[in-house]
Structure 1
């Protein structure tokens, strides 16, 4: 049976603190991501309603959708970099 050395405790507490902090940070990202996606969906819905099937409106809507994809990809990259830099 392995016995823990007394000096292991502070390291374990520090690790537990880091894990708890990371979980809190990820929960914050998740909430902000939900809010951002909600805002973007609202914007797209408004663009589509205003487009009234015009070519310019269609092009604008496509540009917004591409922009959303790029923003989500950038957010994924940011989260991955922050998680794995630790």
Structure 2
């Protein structure tokens, strides 16, 4: 015998899925904007839809040059945050 979720449970799950999708879309947009400030683009950066009612962002592949540039930007930002908290 299998479990059949109630109508209320299905609605609740759909709302969770919708919220997760929106969270992934917002996160991908925020990351894309932040990368643009650094003059960078990850061509395959996208919302990948909800996974288990959680937002999921697909970063995808990029060239070695972009990966190294991204590492530099992240490290510089991390150092700036550390200096600010001192």
* TM-score (norm: length of structure 2): 0.43
Who wins on radius of gyration, i.e. which is larger? Answer: 1
- Higher RCO (C-alpha under 8 Å, 6+ residues apart): 2
